[in-house]
Structure 1
Amino acid sequence: SLAVLLDKVAVDDSVRAVIITGAGRAFCSGADTDEMIGGPGDGPHKAGSGGAEDLRRGFKLAQRVILGIHKMEKPVIAAINGPAVGAGFDLACACDIRIASELARFMAAYVHVGLFPGYGGTWLYPRLFGSAKAAELMYTGNFMEVDEALSFGFLNSVVSEGELIATAEKMARRIATGPPVAIRLAKTMMRNGMSMDLETSLEMSAAAEAITLSSADHIEGMAAHREKRRPWFKGI
């Protein structure tokens, strides 16, 4: 399952960037949620779900994916090959970088079936789109097309279907050649900084910069700059 894979790559130092994409025509739809978290029958909407405890357990399993991406120190790239609907939209929202094909579109579909957006939408949408657009997405369940998503800054780029994976891989390679410690600290600070005041953020930033100033990667970066060559960052 995706949750298990995320747990593995989070602690694998040989992995410096992660790409998530859909296996079929869609990036991820609401119907894909069970497979996303652990296989058919494991999700909160499985047929014949039991009482409240079974439902709570199912949601916690699905939420592991969103939290796994959010807490992972490594950048996660969404290569959005098609529609991202319901939990699939929230999955895309949780990623750090989003590259979409022209076939992608987005919907917070919960309202169509009388459900609350239980996979982080009420936290993610306002931060990505602002409160007014977030409200529209949640209250209407209207599709958002790629052009509009790009105009909101939700997408980094839109490419043809045939170029999607190559574009995502190029981005991942670019990130992977960078200094891992500095990049991981930057992601952590960006995510945590949204809940900090400016003074606290500056204090944490000073501590993070002190870590990078004493790192071997900083020494290598400065040496490469002086010697006019590409740096070789090892993540220490």
Structure 2
Amino acid sequence: MKGSGMEPAVLVERDGGIAVVRLNRPQRRNAFTDVAMIDEVADTIRTLDRDREVKCLVLTGNGSAFSAGGDLKAMLDGTSLVDRERPEATRMAYRRGIQQLPELFEALEVPVIAAVNGPAMGAGCDLAMMCDIRIASETARFAQTFVTLGLVSGDGGAWLLPRTMSFADACELAFTGDTIDAARALEIGLVSRVVPPERLMEETMSLARRIARHPADGVRMTKRLLRMGRNMQINHLLEVSAAMQALGHNTPEHRTALVEAYERISRKPTR
């Protein structure tokens, strides 16, 4: 969503093999304003995933919010995905707009860490759940706000929630629309850790570097196995694992790592 003097909807910073992607609508709390913004987010992440130099993605928000989800003003003004006179047009806008994100994130090979710097509401909460790992600032808040507006999660929340937490906790969030703080999010497994706001990016980047230091092909294939394993029988998963392992054994990165590991072991004194 560029041009006409507008800032890009997404900012990208590179730190070695780590790409930090920042949603850049701070004045709208990083809400998704229209299809053009969604397209820019999707195109940016898709391009980074194809870059073999990128070993880990970090997704965060610019300003005080991670993402407010849908833009309420845009909904009221009729400039969002909603066409009140043509429900079929609204359905197609969802399919071609916001719904491309969960499908994209499910297909990504590169690991993605969400650094949740503030409120993650509605579609913003779902966006965080699309990521592989979530680290939250103490200022983070989460809510499935759709029901408060008489709506459902149009971007896959009903699929994401019970895969992130228990079914009962998923139902409680979805049915009530309640806002929970970072501590409660940690209790139910929505995030894996909570840190002071001034340490959020430091902690996130530290984890990203621990991921990025490993051979990229092995990490990417491991992610695919974990994603696929949620919906596969063990015999099918083992077959895919064997195929991926065969590929891994024939990469230069594996050979280099194998030699280095053997040399480390060989240097250890024997008793």
Range into which the TM-score falls when normalised by the shorter chain: 0.7 to 0.9
Unaligned stretches of 5+ in structure 1? 230-236
CA distance, structure 2, for counterparts of residue 134 and residue 153 of structure 1: 11
**Corresponding residue number in structure 1 for 2:57:** 18
Show CA shifts across 1:31-90 (max 9, x none). 45999xxxx977424xx6551343123212111122222211000110000111000000
**Corresponding residue number in structure 2 for 1:54:** 89
Q: How many residues align?
A: 223
Unaligned stretches of 5+ in structure 2? 1-39, 266-271
Report if aligned partners of 1:75, 1:184 keep a CA contact under 8 Å in 2: yes
Show CA shifts across 1:73-125 (max 9, x none). 00011000011100000000010011110001110000000001111111111
Report if aligned partners of 2:111, 2:132 keep a CA contact under 8 Å in 1: yes
Report if aligned partners of 1:43, 1:58 keep a CA contact under 8 Å in 2: no
One-letter amino acid of the counterpart of residue 199, structure 1: N
**Corresponding residue number in structure 2 for 1:169:** 205
Q: How far has the Cα of 1:139 moved from its partner?
A: 0.6
Q: How far has the Cα of 1:227 moved from its partner?
A: 2.2
CA distance, structure 1, for counterparts of residue 108 and residue 194 of structure 2: 25
Q: How does 1:84-99 map to 2 (within 5 A)?
A: 84-99=120-135
1:185 pairs with 2:224: no
One-letter amino acid of the counterpart of residue 44, structure 1: L
One-letter amino acid of the counterpart of residue 99, structure 1: I
- 1:7 is aligned, of 46, 57, 62, to 46
Report if aligned partners of 1:80, 1:104 keep a CA contact under 8 Å in 2: yes
- 2:255 is aligned, of 219, 224, 227, to 219
CA distance, structure 1, for counterparts of residue 166 and residue 213 of structure 2: 33
Show CA shifts across 1:137-165 (max 9, x none). 11111122211221233322211111111
Instruction: Return the structure number with greater strand share.
Output: 2
Report if aligned partners of 2:117, 2:136 keep a CA contact under 8 Å in 1: yes
Q: How does 1:51-90 map to 2 (within 5 A)?
A: 51-60=86-95, 61-90=97-126
SS at match of 2:139: coil
CA distance, structure 2, for counterparts of residue 117 and residue 69 of structure 1: 17
**Corresponding residue number in structure 2 for 1:155:** 191
Report if aligned partners of 1:43, 1:59 keep a CA contact under 8 Å in 2: no
CA distance, structure 2, for counterparts of residue 67 and residue 159 of structure 1: 29
Report if aligned partners of 1:42, 1:58 keep a CA contact under 8 Å in 2: no
Report if aligned partners of 1:43, 1:62 keep a CA contact under 8 Å in 2: no
**Corresponding residue number in structure 1 for 2:241:** 205
CA distance, structure 1, for counterparts of residue 197 and residue 73 of structure 2: 26
Q: Using structure 1 for the length normalisation, give the TM-score.
A: 0.87
SS at match of 1:62: coil
Larger Cα Rg: Structure 1 or Structure 2?
Answer: 2
SS at match of 1:88: helix
One-letter amino acid of the counterpart of residue 139, structure 2: L
Identity score, percent = 37
Q: Using structure 2 for the length normalisation, give the TM-score.
A: 0.76
